Structure 1
Amino acid sequence: MSDYFANIAPVTYGGPNTTDPMQFRHYNPAEKLGDKTMAEHLRFAVCYWHNFVWEGNDPFGGQTFDRPWFPADTMDLARQKADAAFDMFRILGVPYFCFHDHDVRPEGGTLAESHKRLNEMADYFAEKMAQGGPKLLWGTANMFSNRRYMSGASTNPDPDVFAYCASTVKACMDVTHRLGGENYVLWGGREGYETLLNTNLERELNQMGRFLSMVVDYKHKIGFKGAILIEPKPQEPTKHQYDFDVATVYGFLKRFGLEHEVKVNVEQGHAILAGHSFEHELAMARTLGIFGSIDMNRNDYQSGWDTDQFPNSPVEAAMAYYEVLMAGGFTTGGTNFDAKLRRQSLDASDLIAAHVGGMDICARGLRAAHAMIADEALEGPRRARYAGWESEAAAAMLAEGATLDGIAAQAEAANLRPVPVSGQQEKLENIVSRYI
């Protein structure tokens, strides 16, 4: 136990009329939506890195947070950080958490020492999880912070870095498997390039594809039943990253025959950086059959970088969970808050309140999305818009054996004169607003 959150009681559901910022207004874990509770639908997870590692720095200023476990450069401080983390998980009542290896243990003087420390912390986590702590949604490896990764991880021009990455990922996968993790995530934070002047693009993509293939092989070798997930991100820190967006990742997976082995963990902030909306990326993942999990946050729309703020738009949340539900809901995935406080929010209670607000926004979005699907509020008009394709003649145009010249001849013989039909976007936007 830690005394960092000592004066903060577990968060409870207070209902829509509560004015207490430390109570849920909309997230009622036991509320049933269809055949699942809110807790089962949302599968909330709290991330380790932003909440317990980040010091409040930004590109123009240094540390603003003063946590008792900083700088967490000893195993004693790492355990103190874990005590605080599991206290926070308990206060929020979340069923899951997520971490990078670098988040939970200080780096050792050697690779073997780093692995030893990671396993010691995994033992410590296992004890806490056995005492009623949350489960592990996913584990991952930090292969972007250390200067050894300045030219990439699996895409690095130095084969020693590639080997170092292989050892790091193996150790993290072993720990994730041992702790019952339901997914393993690869975020290629520096898998990209700064300039093509010194980059062999073909070689780097082949290295990355071979590395991912070995990760999948190792998953099967150890009997890990969870999903392997890639988290797309377009830029920052590198000028162009190879996992730019969902469609790019899918093309990469297809090239290396991994489209049935690997899914995606889609983040709202990364979708915005790619010039997309969150629901676009989720719809694309659903359509391509690679939807896995989500990182819930938001970006500042006036900034051109990844600000990782907590979600505050019920409309955006509704459209995101609409796509999640249309994909059949989460299986191994869930809702991880890859979000951090603003650097002026210094108090322990700010960490709790931020998650309470984010969880409430997600609950509002989920409830609206579930109702829209039940009422066919969007699917009805969408089906009507494409109704012409239900005719026998229209279906024949897409059937095996149809030819371009044959369809052209039919169009000319029928003297077709198509008349545009309204897409009714504003009416549909009003429908969504009504459900919020």
Structure 2
Amino acid sequence: MTFFDGIAPIQYEGPESTNPLAFRHYNPDEVVMGKRMEDHLRFAVAYWHSFAWEGGDPFGGQTFVRPWHPQDRMETAKAKADAAFDMFDILNVPFFCWHDADVRPEADSFAQSLKNFEEIIDYFEEKMSTRKVKLLWGTANMFSHRRWMAGASTNPDPDVFAYAAATVKSCMDATKRLGGQNYVLWGGREGYETLLNTDLGRELDHMGRFLNMVVEYKHKIGFEGTILVEPKPQEPSKHQYDFDAATCIGFLRKYGLEGEVKLNLEQGHAILAGHSFEHEVAVAAADGMLGSIDMNRNDYQSGWDTDQFPNNVPEVALTYYHILKSGGFSTGGTNFDAKLRRQSLDADDLIAAHVGGMDVCARGLKAAAAMLEDGGLEDALKQRYAGWDTAGAKAMLDSDFDTIFTKVLSGEIDPQPRSGRQEYLENYVNRFV
């Protein structure tokens, strides 16, 4: 008997279907802008939320009772993997993602934890050899264990820096071995609680050197995937160094990494930073640093990262609009960094959550493609900035303040405000979603 007994592979049944375990909008073979929908969206299941998370929150402990609990033995780690790969098959997803701590039990020494990790990677490799599912990315959990309480690469203790380096090396090795298309670093505790005991400049320099070591090791082992960093503004640290896309881009440029590292952006993190997801995607795309996304949503009445499955089509459509406009994903994809509500206990809840999220993304993708093909937003942009395409405006950028001052003083230049027509554009978007 398996965890998902009785749940058949999910099929596309079309918009009129009332089957809660069927796709109504996600048809992997449907062609959108010349490419299969599956190849646009590149869906991935997050191993940590879907299988490692036990249903706790800041005010209460475990609510999920799974056959692989407690997650402290190799036998249960393999049972968890069995369930995970069953779900990948049911959903027919092309990718999955993991942290090292999600997939193997923690041991009393690094050597034994590594042995456990390598054993489960062997198990993954065997399962992947007979399936379509691939690894979108791997990463290291350097925030949960007490050793990481003051950070990993930014820790004031150099021994923790060394432990972090060894951990990331092992995870990069495993990611390469499984054919992973990216490697992600999220600095879950790379920040500070108080400046009273923090040498901020030194910590940033150490973080910059650590990431350069990651890039150096990537080239040493011949890993052809993309290195990604993931912004998040707060939670758990009071202030994290990877606050948002713009902060990360500035950090990468400071340490000479802008040609080697891209961003993995998450909707929930964008909201915590006071941004929309489309803003973060557009910022990364403008600098050529858009790599991949974690798709979820936050509860707008809560001030923390609730990691719910996406259900807001207009938000998702505008996000994919900027992704498509920038050329779409290359090695990246759409990872569901989302978890069930702690009252959603059953196996079919986990399937239904992914089915709904995949449908919302499919609707958003189709709306985004339709808007791009219609060209209404692009026409509005062209009209709004048309003045900058004139010979006079281009010459002004090559002139100086004295020349510009003379023209304004003479009355040759007398600007008259023009409507931004925001409501027209919002109504335009609503035609497609």
Structure 2 partner of 1:417: 414
The one-letter code sitting in structure 1 at the alignment partner of 2:419 is: S
1:89–1:133 CA contact under 8 A, matched in 2: no
What CA distance in whole angstroms lies between the structure 1 residues aligned with 2:20 and 2:405? 64
Task: Tell me the CA shift for residue 409 of structure 1.
Answer: 1.8
- Which consecutive unaligned segments of at least 5 residues does structure 2 have? none
Task: Tell me the CA shift for residue 6 of structure 1.
Answer: 1.1
Determine if the alignment matches structure 1 residue 290 to structure 2 residue 289. Answer: yes
List per-residue Cα deviations over 1:276-319 (Å, max 9, x = no partner).
00000000000011000000000000100000000001100100
List per-residue Cα deviations over 1:253-298 (Å, max 9, x = no partner).
0100000100000000000000000000000000011000000000
Structure 2 partner of 1:299: 298
The one-letter code sitting in structure 2 at the alignment partner of 1:19 is: T
What CA distance in whole angstroms lies between the structure 2 residues aligned with 1:207 and 1:71? 36
Structure 2 partner of 1:102: 101
CA RMSD of aligned residues (A): 0.8
Task: Tell me the CA shift for residue 115 of structure 1.
Answer: 1.2
Task: Tell me the CA shift for residue 404 of structure 1.
Answer: 2.1
Task: Tell me the CA shift for residue 72 of structure 1.
Answer: 1.5
What CA distance in whole angstroms lies between the structure 2 residues aligned with 1:122 and 1:307? 30
Determine if the alignment matches structure 1 residue 431 to structure 2 residue 428. Answer: yes
Structure 2 partner of 1:334: 333
With normalisation by structure 2, the TM-score equals 0.99
Structure 1 partner of 2:361: 362
Determine if the alignment matches structure 1 residue 353 to structure 2 residue 352. Answer: yes
Q: What does 1:94-133 align with in structure 2 at a 5 Å threshold?
A: 94-133=93-132
The one-letter code sitting in structure 2 at the alignment partner of 1:242 is: Y
2:318–2:364 CA contact under 8 A, matched in 1: yes
Structure 1 partner of 2:308: 309
Instruction: Tell me the SS of whatever aligns to 1:271.
Output: helix
Structure 1 partner of 2:142: 143
Structure 2 partner of 1:179: 178
The one-letter code sitting in structure 1 at the alignment partner of 2:339 is: K
What CA distance in whole angstroms lies between the structure 2 residues aligned with 1:240 and 1:415? 49
Structure 2 partner of 1:8: 7
Determine if the alignment matches structure 1 residue 153 to structure 2 residue 145. Answer: no
- Which consecutive unaligned segments of at least 5 residues does structure 1 have? none
Task: Tell me the CA shift for residue 114 of structure 1.
Answer: 1.1
Task: Tell me the CA shift for residue 71 of structure 1.
Answer: 1.3
List per-residue Cα deviations over 1:190-235 (Å, max 9, x = no partner).
0000000010000100000000000000000000010000000000
Which segment drifts farther, 406-415 or 328-337?
406-415
List per-residue Cα deviations over 1:118-151 (Å, max 9, x = no partner).
1111110011111114100000000000000000
Instruction: Tell me the SS of whatever aligns to 1:435.
Output: coil
Task: Tell me the CA shift for residue 410 of structure 1.
Answer: 2.1
What CA distance in whole angstroms lies between the structure 1 residues aligned with 2:24 and 2:326? 27
Percent same amino acid among aligned pairs? 67
Instruction: Tell me the SS of whatever aligns to 1:170.
Output: helix
The one-letter code sitting in structure 2 at the alignment partner of 1:405 is: D
Instruction: Tell me the SS of whatever aligns to 2:205.
Output: helix
What CA distance in whole angstroms lies between the structure 2 residues aligned with 1:398 and 1:203? 39
Which segment drifts farther, 28-37 or 156-165?
28-37
With normalisation by structure 1, the TM-score equals 0.98
Task: Tell me the CA shift for residue 416 of structure 1.
Answer: 2.5
Q: What does 1:182-201 align with in structure 2 at a 5 Å threshold?
A: 182-201=181-200
1:283–1:323 CA contact under 8 A, matched in 2: yes
What CA distance in whole angstroms lies between the structure 2 residues aligned with 1:201 and 1:45? 35
1:295–1:336 CA contact under 8 A, matched in 2: yes
2:408–2:414 CA contact under 8 A, matched in 1: no
Instruction: Tell me the SS of whatever aligns to 1:294.
Output: strand
Determine if the alignment matches structure 1 residue 279 to structure 2 residue 278. Answer: yes
What CA distance in whole angstroms lies between the structure 2 residues aligned with 1:201 and 1:368? 44
2:104–2:117 CA contact under 8 A, matched in 1: yes
